[in-house]
Amino acid sequence: MSTAIDGLVSGLSTSSLISSLMKVEAAPQDRLKTKVKTAQTTVASYQTVNKQLAALKTAGSTLGDLATWRSVKASSSSSSVSATATNSLTAAAGSTTFDVVSTAKAQVTTTEYDKDTTDITDGSGSLTIKVGSGADVTVNLTDDKTPAGIAAAINSTSGIGVRAGVVKTADGNSILQLTSTKTGTENTFEVTGLTGTSNVVTAASDAKIRVGSVEADGVTLTPGSYEVTSSSNTFTGLLSGVSITVTKPETGVNVSAVNDIDGIAGKIQAMVDAANGTLSEVASQTAYDASTKKGSPLSGDFMVRNIRQTLLSAVSVGLSYDNPRFDSKLPEDSTTNPKTVAFGSLSKLGIQLDSTGALTFDAEKFKTAYNADPNAIKEAGIGLGDNFEALADKQSKSITSVITGRNSDIDSLNKQISEWDTRLVAKRATLQKTYTSLETALGKLQNQSTWLAGQLAGLS
């Protein structure tokens, strides 16, 4: 590539001239770059609005989920018994009183060996451990067959379900202690391949809960009473949708589960917050400052501005939703078999618009309405969540489509910018070559002029 050299002959600053000319040549590319920057700013604004819509869609989906309305709060009368709601579709309010007869225990087996013993195996070369009804697991041994070596071999073998440890007694002997990693009678274990006499110091046992009482003999259950066992200390079937964990024997424990009204109210508040977040973002991205006469990136975008109107209308016109009990096999009737339920004002659910156009939620008003008619409020709440989920999804799809189109335009503009890079490199090379040739030609003319002057001087 030719190199531009400032005019040694002409006295011209050719590099400055070329830079000036290149600025003119690059003007179309600069306009393209400005378009890209503007488009990228616009896309970023669309994305922030879309993020708020996604949050609103999620909040609506959660509110419309049946599990939300069936969630319960569980509590226990005993500090040694914990109760946790699983919030599954099977959860239901209720209570039960029981006695914790026993807790689950893991088997612990010990074998004592003399301190001078160096090999505690029976010579078979390996150990076999069987837990419950599971398959035999082989433990391969190393040359170290002391209690410590055996413990290490057991602990390094995966899938056994038994852990080993060595305890030193006061007289220096070694206690090889084997413990099941799980509680319950189904995790009882046996070990073959060791010498010595093993002692089960703690037998594996199941946890047991008794609902009701026993006869005077302390064993026979009274009519209607029953017992439930668990290999762990956790029970999941005693109260629907509630997990109960026990830690010690105890009598007269009461566990109850009530509808989690506070949790439901929290889900409604979350949806109201998400709707306000969307309204706020739309207002920010479409704002126009009359004093500075400057608009936001989406000031003139009707689609985005319409999101606000759509959300506010969804609140102001009241709630209507698809009737979940509609029977398509029967004639549609507005009284006995309506296809759509006209619930009416959302204020019945505690939702209103304030003077600023934002949504507010009165949790206490909602709780009062729920306690008065749980089924009707549940149905309306699910319908409301479904409606807002669908509304947010529809608006989000429209914005996503616009973002995709704008990104395609940006890619096209960037391609043109790249093509201009190649074109401008070629143009600079041409200008440098032209001015270099000009200096060369002027240099030749100067040499010729000097020669002629010399010849003329010789004639005189």
Q: Give the pLDDT confidence of 171-191 residue by residue, as tens digits.
A: 999 999 999 999 999 999 999
pLDDT of 452:
79
Q: Give the pLDDT confidence of 378-425 residue by residue, as tens digits.
A: 999 999 999 999 999 999 999 999 999 999 999 999 999 888 888 888
| Alpha carbon 99 to its chain's center | 40
Residues in contact with 369: Cβ distance below 8 Å, sequence separation at least 6, in sequence order: 348, 349, 350, 377
- Report whether pLDDT(204) > 50: yes
pLDDT of 337:
80
Report residue 272's pLDDT band, with 50, 70 and 90 as the boundaries.
very high
Contacts 24+ apart (CB under 8 A), 11-16: 12/435, 14/435, 14/438, 14/439
| Alpha carbon 318 to its chain's center | 33
Report residue 8's pLDDT band, with 50, 70 and 90 as the boundaries.
low
pLDDT of 91:
76
- Report whether pLDDT(118) > 60: yes
DSSP reduced 3-state for 100 = strand
Residues in contact with 164: Cβ distance below 8 Å, sequence separation at least 6, in sequence order: 150, 151, 154, 155, 176, 177, 178, 179
pLDDT of 10:
60
Report DSSP state, residue 222.
P
Q: Shortest CA distance to 213 belongs to which of 94, 76, 99?
A: 99
Using an 8 Å Cβ cutoff, are 41 and 297 in contact?
A: yes
- Report whether pLDDT(1) > 90: no
Outline where DSSP puts E strands in 276-395. Answer: 288-289, 294-295, 319-322, 340-344, 351-353, 359-361
What's the first-to-final CA gap in the chain, in angstroms? 47
Using an 8 Å Cβ cutoff, are 325 and 347 in contact?
A: no
The H or E element that residue 385 is part of is: helix 374-459
Q: How many CB atoms lie within 10 A of CB 56?
A: 29
- Report whether pLDDT(12) > 80: no
pTM for this structure? Answer: 0.72
Half-sphere exposure of 188 (CA within 13 A, CB side): 10
**Domain residue limits, the chain:** 45-66+262-391, 72-103+207-259, 108-202
Burial class (CB in 10 A: 0-12, 13-18, 19+), 437: exposed
The H or E element that residue 246 is part of is: strand 242-246
pLDDT of 457:
78
> If you search the block for the tokens 């990104």, which residue do you land on?
407
